[in-house]
Amino acid sequence: MNTSLFLIIVLVSGAFAGLIHGVTNLAIVEPYLDQAIGMENQNMFASGEVDDTLEFWVEYEGYRTWQKSGQVLAGVILGVSIGSLFGIVFAMSRSSLPGRNNVKKALILAGIMWVTLYFIPFLKYPANPPTVGDAESVVLRAILYSSFIAISGIAAVGFYKVSKKFQNKKKILGLIGYVAFISLVFVIMPENPDKVTAPLNLVEGFRATSVLAVSSFWIAIAITLGILWNHFKPEREIATSN
């Protein structure tokens, strides 16, 4: 394999998909974040923590502009990061993924990773807008969420390896095994300790748009890496034959 070519196309597709994720967030998730942060401000005024003054709003606007523009940069960083993981898994599993071209293979892998690393963990620990959540519990929540993702991902790889040992139709046992195992983990793992205090329509709208935006990332990374892989074929090696 041509190592540098492989690294470049993985990083470029991660950055591009991350950019799409960031921009999609700005377009569809941000209105809910603004609404939620607006509620936080009202709570702070009500409790007397800060005063509803012009200075407050000037500072607030500057701070939100920073956060919003930061989101696109953060999207690129996160995209390169998750894209790197996707690149490793894609390179290692490409020959066993179904589909004749790399776009199709990448879309299938992205679908599997979306379900195991994102959607199942999301169902257990759904995304929350600002105003929901106790700052004190953030470390606990981070540990719970990342453990669940890691368990799900490791289980998916493990059961995939098991399924390869079976013949033909019995391969489905691997999938059944994963579903049974992750359902058990889903039930056993503790709940998010925080109560959802925000209005339900805000929380639901936020969660729905958040899922759409994350999904846009997985679709974008699969298509981009697939196209670049078809074009540059990094699996080829320039042999130094003599």
Q: What residues line the site for other proteins (CB under 8 A)?
A: 1, 3, 6-7, 10-11, 21-22, 25, 29-30, 33, 63, 66-68, 70-71, 73-75, 77-78, 80-82, 84-85, 87-88, 91-92, 118, 121-122, 125-130, 133, 135, 138, 141-142, 145-146, 206, 209-210, 213-214, 235-239, 241
**Binding partner of residue 57 among Zn ion, other proteins, none, CB cut-off 5 to 8 Å per kind:** none
Shortest distance, CB of residue 141 to other proteins, whole angstroms?
4
Q: Measured at the alpha carbon of residue 200, what is the angle toward residues 199 and 204, in degrees to the nearest 5? A: 125
The nearer residue to other proteins, 57 or 63, going by C-beta atoms, is 63
The nearer residue to other proteins, 68 or 104, going by C-beta atoms, is 68
- 45 vs 83: CA distance, rounded Å: 42
What letter represents residue 90's amino acid? Answer: F
Shortest distance, CB of residue 128 to Zn ion, whole angstroms?
9
The nearer residue to other proteins, 118 or 159, going by C-beta atoms, is 118
Stretch that binds Zn ion, among 4-12, 129-137, 141-149, 204-212 (CB under 5 A): 129-137
Shortest distance, CB of residue 49 to Zn ion, whole angstroms?
17
Are 174 and 166 within 8 A, CB to CB?
yes
Of 114, 113, 93, nearest in space to 105 by CA: 93
- DSSP code at position 135: G
Angstrom CA distances, 205 to 208, 218, 224, 242, stand at: 5, 20, 28, 63
Q: Measured at the alpha carbon of residue 135, what is the angle toward residues 65 and 196, in degrees to the nearest 5? A: 90
Residue pointed to by tokens 């799900």? 152
**Binding partner of residue 147 among other proteins, Zn ion, none, CB cut-off 5 to 8 Å per kind:** none
Backbone dihedral angles phi then psi of residue 44, each to the nearest 5 degrees: -70, -40
Structure tokens, 42: 């009202």
**Binding partner of residue 238 among Zn ion, other proteins, none, CB cut-off 5 to 8 Å per kind:** other proteins
Q: Report the phi/psi class of residue 54: left, alpha or beta, with left for phi > 0 and alpha for psi in -120 to 50.
A: alpha
Stretch that binds Zn ion, among 124-132, 134-142, 143-151, 216-224 (CB under 5 A): 124-132
Shortest distance, CB of residue 22 to Zn ion, whole angstroms?
16
- 63 vs 36: CA distance, rounded Å: 15
> Which residues form the interface with Zn ion (CB under 5 A)?
130
